[in-house]
Amino acid sequence: MELRYGVAGAADAANLAALSIEVWLHTYARDGIRQAFSDYVLSEFTAAKFEAHLSSPSQTFVKCERGEHLLGYLRMNFAAVCPTVPELTTEIATLYVRARHARQGIGTALLAHASDICRRRGVMGVWLMVNHENAPAIRFYEAQQFQRNGSRTFELGAERHENFILWRGLTP
């Protein structure tokens, strides 16, 4: 079956939540599951929270599906000021692709679709944050012409994790 890209809606909330838990744990729980991770994913990645994001006029989700199966998504927040480049107000808040579907061009295609949406809205640049230890994601974003511009800390319980801030301009 062919891959299909489109804007996600309220009916996608549960699938977006489930895929988020899967990708987040695969990426960050490298040594196994522990309480802090469980608490985080079960409170952050709920269908109700995704329904709220999906209904927000400042957010847009682009999804990739094959048949009835969600393989990945990208979430944009058009009202998120970059901490290091305040002129940038559009954040790629999430770009998740299932591990078994990685390196098939899905992330690149999601970014292309998101860039088209941004251009139609007059957005000339986007930013995102990525964990400084997530080397595959950093390499991917660098290949997509993102540049590093500082960092911020993500707190998970009592732990602090450095996230790199990356940005990219968009051609009209």
What is the per-residue pLDDT for 140? 95
DSSP code at position 172: -
Digit-coded pLDDT (tens) for 98-117: 988 888 899 999 999 999 99
Q: How high is the pLDDT of residue 130?
A: 95
Q: What rounded mean pLDDT belongs to the chain?
A: 93
What structural domains does the chain harbor? 3-169 (3.40.630.30)
Classified as helix, coil or strand, 102 is coil
Instruction: Using the predicted structure, report yes or no on whether residue 158 has a pLDDT greater than 80.
Output: no
- Residue with the two structure tokens 């790199």: 164
Closest C-alpha among 2, 21, 13, 29 to residue 131: 29
> What is the per-residue pLDDT across 34-72, written as a single tens digit (0 to 9) for each?
888 899 899 999 999 999 999 999 999 999 999 999 999
Q: How many angstroms from the chain centroid is the CA of residue 159?
A: 22
Q: Cα separation of 136 and 83, whole Å? A: 24
Predicted confidence at residue 88, as pLDDT, reads 94
Q: Is pLDDT of 17 > 90?
A: yes
pTM recorded for the entire structure: 0.92
End-to-end CA distance of the chain: 33
More confident residue, 3 or 171: 3
Strand partners, 153: 162
Residue range 127-148, pLDDT digits in tens: 999 999 899 999 999 999 999 9
Q: Is the distance from CB of 130 to CB of 161 less than 8 angstroms?
A: no
CA 115, CA 66: separation in Å to the nearest integer?
21
Q: What is the pLDDT confidence band of residue 170, given thresholds at 50, 70 and 90?
A: confident
Whether the per-residue pLDDT at 29 is higher than 90: the answer is: no
Residue 6 has pLDDT above 80, yes or no: yes
Burial 11-43 (b: 16+ CB within 10 A, else e): ebbebbbebbbbbbbeebeeeeeeeebeebbee
Confidence band of 75 (pLDDT split at 50, 70, 90): very high
